[in-house]
Chains A and B, each alone.
Chain A
Amino acid sequence: MTAALAAAFAVETRGLTKRFGAHAAVDDVHLAVPRGSVFGFLGPNGSGKTTTIRMLLGLASATAGEIRVLGRDMPHELNTVLPQVGALVEGPAFYPFLSGAANLHRLDTANRYAPGSTRNTRVRDALARVGLGHAEHKKVHAYSLGMKQRLGLANALLSPRELLVLDEPTNGLDPQGTREVRHLVRSLAADGATVFVSSHLLSEIEQICTHVGVMSAGRLVSQGTLDELRSTSDRRVRVVTPDPEAATRVLSGLGMQPVAFSESDLRPGDVESGVTAGLTDSVAPEEVVAALVTAGVRVRGFELVSSTLEERFVELTGEGFDVVQ
């Protein structure tokens, strides 16, 4: 069973722990990233995302626990695993006095498994893929932050990869660049690669990811498909109506617990009052509408509200601006 399970996951950790002195930066993390998924790795600053990524790539050693990447043990089988893994870790880093193409050449030469005969073509293709073809001979110190970020992505794409580990891939990119990265991630996933994206841009994650894991204070507090994560929180109906009392009566009759709009429920344009209520499993939303109309309640708007990833995220990791320790 373990063999089949290992093959099913591109990244799998058991009890992964990293301590710096007494402080556990990563604490008993059981990650399971299915192959072919786009896995969003979420968490506030300082929650242990990057430390986890460093351990996955064999840059740092784990204090305890097991890591399997592409079905192989890390860091013992590092040399077999890493050529299949493209990485962007904690921002791009390049030699400022070399050109973009020369930097990629150097890093590709460092990979002893990358064939030298195709190096020029692969470097050119990777640069073209991230839209840096025109700037390949410019020195990196003349690059903007977004261009460096693109060059970092190009480095991750130098060889065909089974797994891409992208730490904050859209950092510093303009809206066009962000869109392109989204397209890039989708096309990589369509080619069968697994993409492991760490980010705190939730809308980004919501748009590209199939699976999500949430870190908080070194622990993995939630993990699953995007829908699973969302659906564990309740869905609500939101009824905009000039007859809130009548609506309240109807919804109560359906076994729901309606609440009249408070100040904060009103949106711009909502001149009317309204009610919200949690949706129970026994009642379908369309039945609610039918009941309202049958009872003669004038309905201006009806909406099914599931909590956003952001709400869910704050629920899991806590409010506040302080770095959790």
Chain B
Amino acid sequence: MLGALAAIPVLIAIAVRVTSGSSSGRGPAFLDQITQNGLFVALTAMVVSTPLFLPLTVGVVAGDTISGEASHGTLRYLLAAPAGRVRLLVVKFVGAAVFCLSAAGSVVLAGILIGAILFPVGPVTLLSGDTVGPVESIGRLALVASYVAVSLLGLSAIGLFISTLTDVPVGAMAATVVLAVTAQVLGALPQLDWLHPWLFTNYWLGFADLLRQPIAWDSFGSNAVLQLGYIVVFGALAYSRFTTKDVLS
């Protein structure tokens, strides 16, 4: 799955390279800047993959955590080992969190590499108008990756909880992904303004604030607090469900 994620910036870069010259101004943010600076490949790929591709892979991983073990039948052996139910849950969540980080990281890393190969790399003009060198730009991209990774933690907690409800991993994966999409649809409806700050997807594309000088940490902070809230709530739900669950698989 990390390979599939890394393929996204590669596809974008190759597509832009092959059709270069037609800077129409359409397409995802930052797309038409790629030809001037390869570092924008990573950013464009992040904008493209945050709404669907990343949640999809995180949904697969988080939805599989407990229900995958149950469907293999290995859950009963892990618990009889004894792994400890709380310990198993924590390990599974940490695993999902590590996946979030490596998923976001591989998109950015592959973007930087392919961008550097196919396009010139130079100083980047930030959204605030300031210019920073390539090294600091890469630092900023790493910050973007960690922002996106943090953004996905809430979804991981939701997936972990859904995974404790069923022995069918595909069901848990699908439900998690559907929730991610639904939350974004709700977030796009202006009539539901009051709900937006509570949606775990609310700050997903807020990483642009990390591209200002000085860095605006507000959205990073609010995002982290929101995701933490989701981890607490769904972690508690997963805990109460899993510690009392009859393992009959």
Interface residues of A (CB under 8 A from B): 54, 57-61, 78-79, 82-83, 85, 87, 89-91, 93-95, 107-108, 110-112, 114, 155
Closest to A78 in B: B82
- 16 additional A-B residue pairs with CB within 8 Å, beyond A54-B247, A57-B76: A54-B76, A58-B79, A58-B82, A59-B246, A60-B246, A61-B244, A83-B82, A87-B80, A89-B76, A91-B73, A93-B72, A93-B76, A94-B72, A95-B72, A107-B77, A107-B81
B82 x A107 contact (CB < 8 A) = no
Interchain CB contact (< 8 A) of B73 among A83, A93, A155: A93
Most-contacted residue by chain A among B74, B76, B82, B246 (CB, 10 A) = B82
B26 within 8 A of A: no
Contact in complex: A111, B77 (CB < 8 Å): no
The answer to whether A155 touches B77, judged by C-beta atoms less than 8 angstroms apart, is yes
Q: Tell me how far the C-beta of B235 lies from the nearest C-beta in chain A, rounded to whole angstroms.
A: 20
Complex contact B247–A59 (CB within 8 A): yes
Nearest CB in chain A: distance from B127 CB, A: 45
Chain B residues with CB under 8 A of A58: 79-80, 82
Please, which residues of chain B bring their CB within 8 A of the CB of A110? 78, 81-83, 88
A89-B76, A93-B73 as given contacts; A61 in contact with B81, CB under 8 Å: no
Q: Report the nearest B residue to A61, measured CB to CB.
A: B246
A54 CB contacts on chain B under 8 angstroms? 76, 246-248
Tell whether, in the assembled complex, residue B82 and residue A93 are in contact, meaning their CB atoms are under 8 Å apart: no
Q: A287 to nearest B CB, angstroms?
A: 55
Task: Find B76's partner among A61, A78, A83, A90 (CB 8 Å cutoff).
Answer: A90
B74: A residues at CB distance < 8 A: 93-95, 107
- Whether B83 pairs with A112 at a CB distance below 8 angstroms is yes
Q: Mark B60-100, 1 if CB is under 8 A from A, else 0.
A: 00000000000011101111111110011000000000000
CA A49 to CA B244, docked complex, whole Å: 21
A251 to B89, CA, bound (A): 72
B82: A residues at CB distance < 8 A = 58, 78-79, 82-83, 110-112
CB of B79 within 8 A of CB of A59, answer yes
* Interface of chain B residues 228 through 249 with chain A (CB within 8 A): 244, 246-248
Q: Measured between alpha carbons, how far is A169 from B246 in the docked complex, in Å?
A: 23
With A91-B73, A112-B87 as contacts: A82 and B80 at CB distance below 8 Å: yes
The 4 A-B pairs of least Cβ separation, nearest first, read A93-B73, A82-B82, A110-B83, A60-B246
Give every chain A residue within 8 A of B247 (Cβ-Cβ): 54, 59-60
Chain A residue with the shortest CB-CB distance to B91: A110
B226 → chain A closest CB, angstroms: 33
Which B residues are in CB contact (< 8 Å) with A57?
Answer: 76, 79-80
Neighbouring A residues of B72 by C-beta, 8 Å = 93-95
Chain A residues near B244: list those with CB within 8 A.
61
CB distance from B223 to the nearest CB of A (A): 34
Give bound CA distance, A94 to B77, whole Å: 9
Q: How far is the CA of A114 from the CA of B81 in the complex (A)?
A: 9
> Is A82 a contact of B81 with CB atoms below 8 Å?
yes
Find chain B residues with CB under 8 A from A59 CB. Answer: 76, 79-80, 246-248
Taking CB atoms, residues of chain B closer than 8 Å to A111 are 81-83
Which chain A residues border B73 with CB–CB below 8 Å? Answer: 90-91, 93
Q: For the complex, what is the distance from the CA of A100 to the CA of B191, rounded to whole Å?
A: 56
B84 lies within 8 A of A112 (CB): yes
Docked complex Cα distance between A34 and B248 (Å):
27
**10 contacts across the A-B interface (CB closer than 8 A):** A60-B248, A82-B81, A89-B77, A90-B73, A93-B73, A108-B81, A110-B83, A111-B81, A112-B82, A112-B84
Q: Which residues does chain B contribute within 8 Å of A93, judged by CB atoms?
A: 72-74, 76-77
Q: How far is it, in angstroms, between the C-alpha of A87 and the C-alpha of B74 when the chains are bound? A: 12
User: When chains A and B are docked, how far (Å) is the Cα of A83 from the Cα of B247?
Assistant: 18
Bound-state CA distance A95–B88 (Å) is 17
| A60 / chain B contacts, CB cutoff of 8 Å | 246-248
Q: Give 1 or 0 for each of B182-219: 1 = CB within 8 Å of chain A CB.
A: 00000000000000000000000000000000000000
CA A79 to CA B78, docked complex, whole Å: 13
Interface centre among B72, B79, B88 (most CB of A within 10 A): B79
For the complex, what is the distance from the CA of A155 to the CA of B83, rounded to whole Å?
14
Tell me the bound Cα distance from A107 to B244 in angstroms. Answer: 22
Instruction: Return the chain A residue nearest B248 by Cβ.
Output: A60
- Which residue of chain A lies nearest to B82 when distances are taken between CB atoms in the complex? A82
Give the residues in chain B near A155, CB-CB below 8 Å: 77
Task: A246 to B246: give the CA distance in the assembly, Å.
Answer: 65
A78 to B243 Cα, complex, angstroms? 13
The answer to whether residues A85 and B77 also contact, given A59-B247, A60-B246 and a CB cut-off of 8 A, is no
From A54, A59, A79, A89, residue with most partner B Cβ within 10 Å = A59
Give, as a whole number of angstroms, the nearest-CB distance from B2 to chain A: 17
CB distance from A240 to the nearest CB of B (A): 52
Whole-angstrom distance between the Cβ of A50 and the nearest chain B Cβ: 9
Give Cα distance in the complex from A91 to B74, angstroms.
11
Residues of B within 8 A of A82 (CB): 80-82
CB distance from B3 to the nearest CB of A (A): 17
